[in-house]
Amino acid sequence: MDQSIIQIDFADEMKNSYRDYAMSVIIARALPDVRDGLKPVQRRILYAMTELGLSPDKPHRKSARIVGDTMGKYHPHGDSSIYDALVHMTEDYSLTLPLVDGHGNFGSIDGDGAAAMRYTEARLSGGAMTLLENLEKGLVPFGPNFDESEREPLVLPATLPNLLINGTTGIAVGMATNIPTHNVGEVIDGVIAYIKNPDITVRGLMKYVKGPDFPTGAMITNADDIESIYQTGEGRLTLRARTEIENSDNGRKNIVITEIPYTVAGNNSKLLENLISLMKDKVFDEIYDVRDESSKEGIRLIVEVKRDRNIENLLNGLYKKTAMEDTYGVNMLAVKDKQPITFNLKHMIQEFVLFQEELYTKEYRHLLAKARDRLEIVDGLIKATDVIDLIIEILRGSQSVKQAKGCLIHGNTQDIQFKSKKSEREAAALDFTERQAEAILTMPLSKLIGLELLKLHQESDTLHVNIAEYEKILGDVGELHKVIITRLRNYKKKFALPRRTELANLSQEKYVEEIKEEDLYILIDRFGYVKSVDTASYSRISPESLQEYSHIVTLKNTDKLCVFTEEGNMHQVKAMNIPKGRSRDKGVLIQTLCKLENETVIFYIAMENLMETQLFFATRKGYVKQVSGVLFETNRSVIASTKLEAGDSVAGITPLTVEDVIAGDRKVILITKNGLSLGFPLDEVGELKKTSRGVKGITLEQDDQVAYAGVVTPDREEILFEQKTYYPRKIRNRKRAAKGQKANIT
15-38, pLDDT tens digit by residue?
A: 665 565 555 556 566 789 999 999
Q: Give the chain's domain count.
A: 5
What is the model's pLDDT at position 746? 30
Q: Are 601 and 635 in the same domain?
A: no
The answer to whether position 22 is within a domain reads: no
- List, in order, residues 6 or more apart from 89 with CB less than 8 Å away: 42, 45, 95, 98, 99, 100, 128
Is 527 in the same domain as 633? no
Higher pLDDT, 343 or 283: 343
137-148 pLDDT, tens digit each:
889 999 999 899
Residue 47 scores a pLDDT above 90: yes
Residue 246 lies in a domain: yes
Q: Which domain does 317 fall in, by range? A: 242-323
In this structure, the answer to whether residues 636 and 668 fall within a common structural domain is yes
d(CA 344, CA 335): 13
3-state secondary structure 330-394: EECEEEECCEEEECCHHHHHHHHHHHHHHHHHHHHHHHHHHHHHHHHHHHHHHHHHHCHHHHHHH
User: Interior CA angle at 125 toward 123 and 130, to 5°?
Assistant: 130
CATH of the domain at 298: 3.30.1360.40
Select from 110, 141, 157 the last residue of a domain: 157
Same domain, 581 and 642: no
What pLDDT, on a 0 to 100 scale, did the predictor assign at position 744?
Answer: 39
**How far is the C-alpha of 541 from the C-alpha of 578, rounded, in Å?**
19
pLDDT band at 369 (very low <50, low <70, confident <90, very high): very high
Whether the pLDDT of residue 262 is over 70: the answer is yes
What local confidence, expressed as pLDDT, does residue 326 receive?
Answer: 93
Q: How far apart are CA 45 and CA 84, in angstroms?
A: 11
Q: Calculate the alpha carbon distances from 461 to 153, 440, 469, 475 in Å.
A: 36, 20, 13, 21
Residues 730 and 637 in one domain: yes
Cα–Cα nearest to 167, from 328, 266, 37, 41: 37
* % of residues, the chain, pLDDT over 90: 55
Q: In terms of domains, do 740 and 619 share one?
A: yes
Task: Specify which of 126-130, 535-539, 683-687 reaches the highest per-range mean pLDDT.
Answer: 126-130
289 occurs within a structural domain: yes
Residue 600 C-alpha from the chain's centroid: 46
**460-490 per-position pLDDT tens digit:** 999 999 999 999 999 999 999 999 999 999 9
Q: In this predicted structure, which of 429-433, 449-453, 727-731 has the lowest mean pLDDT? A: 449-453
Give me the helix-helix angle, 388-397 and 345-386, nearest 10°: 80
Low-confidence winner among 28-32, 694-698, 713-717 (lowest mean pLDDT): 28-32
pLDDT at residue 447, rounded to an integer = 67
CATH code, domain with 52: 3.90.199.10
Q: For the chain, what is the mean pLDDT?
A: 88
* Cβ atoms 60, 189 nearer than 8 A: no
CATH of the domain at 409: 1.10.268.10
CA distance 155 to 82: 18
Alpha-carbon distance of 653 to 631, in angstroms, equals: 15
H-helix segments, 573-672: 590-594, 607-610, 658-663
pLDDT level of residue 742 (50, 70, 90 thresholds): very low
Q: What's the per-residue H, E or C state across 91-110?
A: CCCCCCCCCEEEECCCCCCC
Most confident of 204-213, 296-305, 500-509: 204-213
pLDDT of residue 410: 86
d(Cα 521, Cα 524) in Å, to the nearest integer? 10
Minimum mean pLDDT among 152-156, 241-245, 409-413: which range?
409-413
Range name among 46-60, 231-245, 289-303, 478-492 with the lowest pLDDT average: 289-303
Question: What pLDDT, in 10s, does the model give residues 56-78?
Answer: 999 999 999 999 999 999 998 88
The answer to the question of residue 401 being in a domain is: yes
Q: Give a yes or no: residue 216 inside a domain.
A: no
Conformational region of residue 313, where left means phi above 0, alpha means psi within -120 to 50, and beta covers everything else: alpha
Query: Buried b vs exposed e over 562-590: b needs ≥16 C-beta within 10 Å?
Result: bbbbbbbbbbbbbbbebeebeeeeebeeb
Q: Look at 81-90, 393-402, 443-452, 650-659 and tell me which has the smallest mean pLDDT.
A: 443-452
Which of 230, 286, 232, 220 is closest to 254 using CA atoms?
286
- Range in 6-15, 20-29, 170-179 with the lowest mean pLDDT: 20-29
Q: Known catalytic residues?
A: 119
Model pLDDT, residue 736 = 40
Least confident of 8-17, 190-199, 371-380, 653-662: 8-17
Residue 28 φ/ψ, nearest 5 degrees:
-105, 0
CA-to-CA distance for 458 and 465, rounded, in angstroms?
A: 11
Task: For residues 564 and 633, state if they share a domain.
Answer: no
- The DSSP secondary structure of 190-228, one letter per residue, reads HHHHHHH-TT--HHHHTTT--S---TT--EESBGGGHHH
Three-state DSSP class for residue 520: strand
Q: What are phi and psi of 31, to 5 degrees?
A: -110, 145
Nearest one of 393, 395, 386 to 448, comparing CA atoms: 386
Residues 653 and 680 in one domain: yes
Query: Is 50 exceeded by the pLDDT of residue 745?
Result: no
What confidence category does residue 509 fall into, taking pLDDT thresholds of 50, 70 and 90?
A: confident
* Whether residues 597 and 616 fall in one domain: no
β 502-503/667-672 pair status: unpaired
Same domain, 581 and 634: no
Query: How confident is the model over 681-699, as a mean pLDDT?
Result: 90
Q: Which one of 581, 606, 631 terminates a domain?
A: 606
pLDDT at 651: 93
What is the per-residue pLDDT for 515?
64
> Which segment of 129-133, 151-155, 510-514 scores lowest on mean pLDDT?
510-514
Of 350, 324, 301, 289, residue with least CA distance to 164: 350
Region of residue 532 (left: phi > 0; alpha: psi -120 to 50; beta: else):
beta
Q: What's the mean pLDDT in 561-590?
A: 89
Contact 230, 347 (CB under 8 A): no
Q: Are 59 and 152 in contact (CB under 8 A)?
A: no
Tell me: do 306 and 385 sit in the same domain. Answer: no
Question: By the 8 A CB rule, do 80 and 65 touch?
Answer: no
Among the three residues 100, 126, 157, which one is the final residue of a domain in this structure? 157
Chain-centroid distance of CA 186 in Å reads: 23
Is 190 inside a domain boundary? no
Higher pLDDT, 65 or 392: 65
Sheet holding 695-696, edge to edge: 650-656, 614-619, 623-628, 695-696
305 belongs to a structural domain: yes
Q: Are residues 648 and 589 in the same domain?
A: no
Q: Are 159 and 359 in contact (CB under 8 A)?
A: yes
The DSSP H or E segment spanning 572 is: strand 569-574
pLDDT at 648: 93
Q: Which pLDDT tens digit goes with each residue over 198-227?
A: 999 999 999 999 999 999 999 999 999 999
Q: Is residue 228 part of a domain?
A: no
